[in-house]
Amino acid sequence: MLTRLTIHELGARFRSGEATPSQAAREYLDRIAALDPKVKAYLTLTAAAALTQAREADARFKSKAPLGPLDGVPLAVKDVLCTRGVRTTCGSKILEAFVPPYDATVVAKLRSAGCVILGKLNMDEFAMGSSTENSAYFTTRNPWDLSRVPGGSSGGSAAAVAADLAATTLGTDTGGSIRQPAAFCGNVGFKPTYGRVSRYGLIAFASSLDQVGPFTKDVADAALMLQTIAGHDPMDSTSATIPVPDYSAALRLGVKGLRVGIPAEYFIDGLDPEVETAVRAAIGTLKSLGAKTESVSLPHTEYGLAAYYVIAPAEASSNLARYDGVKYGLRVPGARDLIDMYSRTRGAGFGAEVKRRVMLGTYALSAGYHDAYYGKAQKVRTLVLRDFQRAFERVDVIVAPTTPGVAFKMGEREDPLQMYLNDVFTIPVNLAGLPGLSMPAGFTRTGLPIGLQIIGKAFDEATLLRTAQAYEAATAWRARKPELAA
Amino acid sequence: MSHAYEVVIGLEVHAQLRTRTKMFCGCSTAFGAPPNTQTCPVCQGMPGTLPVLNRRAVEFGIKTALAINCTVSADNRFARKHYYYPDMPKNYQISQYEEPLAEHGYLDIEVGGVARRIGIQRLHLEEDVGKLIHEGNLETAPSSQVDFNRAGVPLMEIVSMPDMRTSDEAAAYLKSLRAIVVYLDVCDGNMEEGSLRCDANISLRRPGATELGTKVEIKNMNSFRNVQHALEYEIKRQARALDTGERIVQETRLWDPDKAHTVSMRSKEFAHDYRYFPEPDLPPLDVAPAWIEAVRATLPELPAARRQRFMTGYALSAYDSEVATQSKGLADYFEAAAKDSPNPKTVANWVLNELLRVVPPDDEKAIAACPIKPAGLAGLITLIEDGTISGRIAKEVFEKMFQTGEDARTIVSREGLTQVADAGELGAVVDTVLAGHAKVVEDYKAGKKAALGFLVGQVMKATAGKASPAVVNSLLLEKLPKL
């Protein structure tokens, strides 16, 4: 079954001629047809285009001229990333019929690398949520337990990789939207440093926090994906000009002598004991591999969540102002006047969580409240960043749980605040703009995946990947797959 | 009435920058293209698109800032200014708020021979919005369309201090600022097309008062004349209100040039809360001292300096120097024409009297496109000075040059306009004229010296203007006493 293979395994088969990209694409499309009605990861399938792309890849392999390690690899992208000629909904009714005339830079890079794009993946509306329950279309299921959520907002991306409905996927992470679903679905989810990957064509939720990253079946694949999508983009002024190193080469370096920090503030009341046990065991494994662990302190962690829920909604209230029914997307007819058109369109086009955040953010930026909320939150953000900078003077990476708990049941978290608490360990990393990766570190007694979070220094994804690779090689969690029957 | 109050005026000027491409994308800024043909996903504010700063626009801003004596900030930030309007693709405008490009400048003006220094609070950069096209008028239009060609065109906003005390000062400040941006070639200065727009803040107070009165903002003044008229109207309106004990409402009023009054547009009670915050899609803009110095080195001579040089270098009067330097195009024209002339004053007279009859003084495009080039005008003046043609004929030749674009010598020789200075040839004509106007000759002899001019005119007429006025004059003076 080609669908079980990683990118590098698949690439090896393509090169040796044991399999072709068309075979892989067809197997994936068959599996999607059989299983996606249960998992509900895909919002849009682009089967015909995928098969065409696959045939083109076939030809390149046949003539011994593949484009690189991703050539012919069937993958899918979160529906927050613009795809030329393919509708891009952002999980919202307001963009239900929106067909971008351009590709996001990351999508364009994947296309030039020869990837086969299977379709677009479900998500919480405008990437606001931790379960995909805020999708305007449907909730994606966790492949490990279909009554549970896959996490979010990149829930479709995580579930697709876990259920082998794509070899790899792209997601985005604003406050944990890659790492939390990766933890819930038991795969590798990697949020690079803010600025490492272009945001052009990523439909903005919170511009100063959003970052694109991959979901993969193993760490080596994460390195391959980052290698392909990283780098400066002249279309994104916030993308860094710092050179992109060879990530796959870094994987081989091991962790001997590496200094690993353990933040006390991430082992708190409310942390699921099974998660704590698994993460502590993982730390033990790293130690046994030669890493030196030490305690670090990130004292402002507890304020991160509050600051995030001011900054992210503030930026969102601004970014989402453009959905007004004037230019593209939904316009509700029958309006009396301009304001009425705005109200009807936005009233019908946005879901409850989006409206809540637009209101929160508008309030936080309003005259008279601006300094107390937005201004104060920015100061907290600086303090959170300083915490990390201080810690990274002493350690090379920081290791912690990705989430306080494991995948919860659909409909279980109705209180938005309860839902927000899911991101308490991932949000500080976004506030500081650092790279963070989640990978499987075991399972609960009931068989749900537990995520280990590795946090790196800014633009030092190589050290982070090297740590993840060493841990993965020393454990067998990756071998376990969810049982899904058609 | 109005002298019972001190008038306080501040101006906000928006100048469209003459960059080739827009502020944050590569679309053309050319004026007048069919609607929505100069747009792209970025300037249409489509989902996922990001702005990329046009450094040329920043350079133009720095250039202007230096010319109006501002301090350019090293740390610059763009900010988002929020309000909903269909002409604004993102429903926020990328502008600058707390950290403008430059601050604390001034501009010296002169009104009625009195010099005044007007403070400049700040200069910042922002993007322009699109244009709404209503079916009929705004109130009753069943539908409206949006043209985003202008959306994203770079704008520079220059905010003065409330330092102006009369509408004349406001007009002088605006003219002076316009001349500077045109001299710098950063803006075409066209107020009718909206490349240069002006809003005014105006309030009245009792002389000697330290607190400012309640200010009113006036918009929609798209010419110097409108600015002056609108301010004069508003001064009267506010004075009348204050005289009768009425409270001035802080509001925005629109100038209606047809009805010559201002009407209330929106009161500040319903003012927008723009919810500014730093633009997260653009990193802070670092303006290094070296950049500022490099721009400073490209600054051309500015109007004030050039005016001074015209007075000292060409011996022009203060008034002529002022008129000749009011646009760069006109001043350049004059200098090119006067370059090899022994008598620049004569050249100035031709430029200021004749050229300005056929081209507007502040229309750079019309001056550049004028069929009579500076060298052509210089050639014409040479023909007068070497006696080839008379001044009167020269004016005709000038007209023909303007119509055909031919040079003076070609026209003069083709049409046989060369001046007749031969005393023998002219003597016969003079004799005929004298014989035909016995009554006038008598008047002259009776002491009516003005009769001489009439006789000269008759000779000129008889020779179709080709006679040398000097020779005719001396012939008449010689012959009249003998009659």
Give the minimum alpha-carbon distance from A33 to chain B in angstroms, rounded to a whole number: 30
Residues B190 and B335 in one domain: no
> CB distance A328–B53 less than 8 Å?
no
Question: How distant is the Cα of B81 from the closest Cα of chain A, in angstroms?
Answer: 9
Q: Please give the share of chain A, as a percent, with pLDDT higher than 70.
A: 100
Among chain A residues, CA nearest to B84? A321
What mean pLDDT is predicted for residues B73-94?
95
The pLDDT value recorded for residue B271 is 65
Going by pLDDT thresholds of 50, 70 and 90, the confidence category of residue B347 is confident
What residue has token string 């430029």?
A: B351
Q: What is the pLDDT of residues B305-344, one digit of tens each?
A: 898 899 898 888 888 888 888 888 899 999 988 887 888 8
Mean pLDDT score, B433-440: 88
Residue B356 sits at the vertex; the CA angle it makes with B354 and B360, to the nearest 5 degrees, is 160
Q: Are residues B398 and B461 in the same domain?
A: no
* Cα torsion through B161, B162, B163, B169, rounded to 10: 110
CB under 8 Å to A1, separation ≥6 — which residues? A27, A164
Chain centroid to CA B252: 26
Among candidates A100, A199, A235 on the partner chain, residue whose Cβ is nearest the Cβ of B46: A100
- Mean pLDDT over A432-446 rounds to 98
**Do B80 and A306 touch, CB atoms closer than 8 A?**
no
* Nearest Cβ partner for A82 among B47, B52, B91: B47
Q: Would the pLDDT of B2 be above 50?
A: no
Q: Identify the CA nearest to B1 among candidates B261, B214, B166, B241.
A: B241
Mean pLDDT of B57-68: 97
Residues of B in contact with A237 (CB under 8 A): 50-53, 281-283
Rounded average pLDDT over B239-249: 87
Please report residues of A whose CB lies closer than 8 A to that of B80. 318
Among A236, A238, A367, select the one facing B273 at the smallest CB separation: A367
C-alpha span between B160 and B162 (Å, rounded): 6
Q: B384 and B435 share a domain?
A: no
Q: Using a CB-CB distance cutoff of 8 angstroms, which residues of chain A are in contact with residue B273? A: 366-367
Beta bridge partners of residue B160, listed in sequence order: B120
Tell which wins on pLDDT, B446 or B128: B128
Q: Number of helices and strands (H, E) in chain B?
A: 17, 16
Nearest-angstrom CA–CA distance, B384 and B407:
14
Q: What is the pLDDT of residue A486?
A: 62
A177 is catalytic: yes
Domain end residue (candidates: B363, B385, B414)? B414
With beta carbons less than 8 A apart as the criterion, state whether B404 and B371 touch.
yes
Asked whether residue B86 falls in the same domain as residue B204, the answer is yes
- Report the DSSP beta bridge partners of residue B123: B102, B158
Kindly give the interhelix angle for B423-436 and B451-462, rounded to the nearest 10 degrees: 120
Greater pLDDT, A419 or B219:
B219
Q: What angle do CA A233, A235, A239 make, to 5 degrees?
A: 45
Residue B80 has pLDDT above 70, yes or no: yes
- Amino acid residing at B301: E
Q: Which of B52, B84, B275 is the closest to A365 by Cβ?
A: B275
| B236 and B283 inside one domain | yes
Nearest by CB to residue B275, choosing from A90, A101, A362, is A362
DSSP for A204-246 reads PSSTTT-EEEEEESSHHHHHHHHHHHBS--TT-TTS--SPP--
Q: Quick check: B91 and A237 CB within 8 A?
A: no
Predicted local confidence at residue A13, as pLDDT: 98
Q: Pick from B274-278, B424-428, B461-465 the range whose average pLDDT is largest.
A: B274-278
CA B100 to chain centre: 26
Q: Clarify whether residues B365 and B333 are in a common domain.
A: yes
CB contact under 8 A, B277 and A314: yes
Which among A211, A189, A207 has a CA at the least distance from the CA of A198? A211
pLDDT of residue A153: 97
pLDDT tens digits, one per residue of B124-170: 999 999 998 887 776 777 788 999 999 999 999 999 999 999 999 99
The whole-angstrom separation of Cα A154 and Cα A187 is 13
Last residue of a domain, one of B365, B391, B414: B414
What does pLDDT average to over chain B?
A: 89
Which residues of B are less than 8 Å from A341 in CB distance? none
- Say yes or no: domain A2-259 is CATH 3.90.1300.10: yes
CA A225/CA A203 separation, integer angstroms: 20
The answer to whether A153 is a known catalytic residue is yes
What are the b/e assignments for B352-384, b being 16+ CB within 10 Å?
bebbeeebebbbbeebeebebbbebbbbbbebb
A314 interaction partners in chain B (CB closer than 8 Å): 277
Q: Between B259 and A279, whose confidence is greater?
A: A279
* Pair B132, B219 in one domain: yes
Helix, coil or strand: residue B281: coil
How far is the alpha carbon of B292 from chain A, nearest alpha carbon, in Å? 22
Segment (H or E) for A452:
strand A449-456
On the 0-12 / 13-18 / 19+ scale of CB atoms within 10 A, B422 is exposed
Residue of B277, B279, B285, B286 to mutate, testing the A interface (most A Cβ within 10 Å of its Cβ):
B277
- pLDDT for position B113: 81
Evaluate the omega torsion of the peptide bond into residue A153 and state whether it is cis, within 30 degrees of 0: yes
Res A253: pLDDT: 92
Phi and psi for A483 in degrees, rounded to 5? Answer: -90, 110
pLDDT of residue B267: 60
A322 and B91 within 8 Å at the Cβ level: the answer is yes
Strands A42-45 and A116-121 come out as antiparallel
Residues 6 or more apart in contact with residue A153 via CB below 8 angstroms: A80, A91, A123, A124, A127, A128, A129, A130, A132, A134, A171, A172, A174, A177, A181
Best residue in A326, A359, A379 for a mutation probing chain B (most B CBs within 10 Å) = A326
As a whole number of angstroms, the distance between CA B255 and CA B234 comes to 9
- Give me the number of domains chain B comprises: 3
Residues of B in contact with A101 (CB under 8 A): 41, 46
What is the Cβ-side half-sphere exposure of residue A436, based on CA atoms within 13 angstroms? 37
- Nearest residue in chain A measured CA to CA from B83: A321
Do A207 and B48 lie within an 8 Å CB cutoff?
A: no
- The CA distances from residue A57 to A110, A165, B255, B429, in Å, are 13, 19, 65, 100
Burial (CB count <10 Å: 0-12, 13-18, 19+), residue B308: middle
Q: How far apart are CA A151 and CA A171, in angstroms?
A: 12
CATH number of the domain at B459, please. Answer: 1.10.10.410
For residue A321, the chain B residues in CB contact (below 8 A) are: 82, 84, 90-92
Closest in A315, A327, A366 to B273, CB measured: A366
Size of the A and B interface in Cβ pairs below 8 Å = 95
CB A443 within 8 A of CB A183: no
Active site residue A292: no
Mean pLDDT confidence for B36-65: 97
At A139 the pLDDT is 98
Identify whether residues B66 and B120 lie together within a single domain. yes
- B362 has pLDDT over 80: no
pLDDT at residue number B1:
44
**SS3 call for A249:** helix
pLDDT digits (tens, 9 = 90+) for A162-211: 999 999 999 999 999 999 999 999 999 999 999 999 999 999 999 999 99
Looking at this predicted complex, what is its ipTM?
0.95
Beta-bridge partners for B80: B94, B277
Strand locations in B130-284, DSSP E?
Answer: 131-134, 144-147, 154-160, 196-205, 216-219, 251-256, 261-267, 277-278
For residue B366, what pLDDT band results from cuts at 50, 70 and 90? confident
- Comparing alpha-carbon positions, the chain A residue that sits nearest to B132 is A326
CA proximity to A408, closest of A438, A440, A449, A352 = A449
Q: How far apart are CA A384 and CA A307, in angstroms?
A: 10
CA distance B368 to A118: 59
- Domain hosting B358: range is 303-414
Which is more confidently placed, A88 or A369?
A: A88
User: Same domain, yes or no, for B27 and B142?
Assistant: yes
Q: Are residues B181 and B308 in the same domain?
A: no
pLDDT of res. B129: 95
**In chain A, where the domains are located:** 2-259, 301-379
B258 and B397 both lie in a single domain = no
By Cβ distance, the residue of A326, A328, A367 closest to B146 is A326
Q: Order of strands, edge to edge, in the sheet holding A188-191? A: A42-45, A116-121, A74-78, A168-173, A211-216, A188-191, A436-443, A449-456, A397-401, A259-263, A292-296
CA distance A292 to chain B (A): 37
The Cα A459–Cα B394 span in angstroms is 76
**Catalytic hit among A22, A92, A130, A153:** A153
Q: B134 to chain A, minimum CA–CA distance in Å?
A: 13
Helix boundaries (H) for A290-415? 301-319, 338-349, 352-365, 376-391
Burial category of A17 from C-beta neighbours within 10 Å (exposed 0-12, middle 13-18, buried 19 and up): exposed
Q: Angle at CA A284, nearest 5°, toward A151 and A221?
A: 50
Q: Which residues of chain B have a CB within 8 Å of the CB of A328?
A: 46
Above 70 in pLDDT, residue A321? yes
Helices within A366-425 (DSSP H only): 376-391, 416-420
Residue range B163-200, pLDDT digits in tens: 999 999 999 999 999 999 999 999 999 888 889 999 99
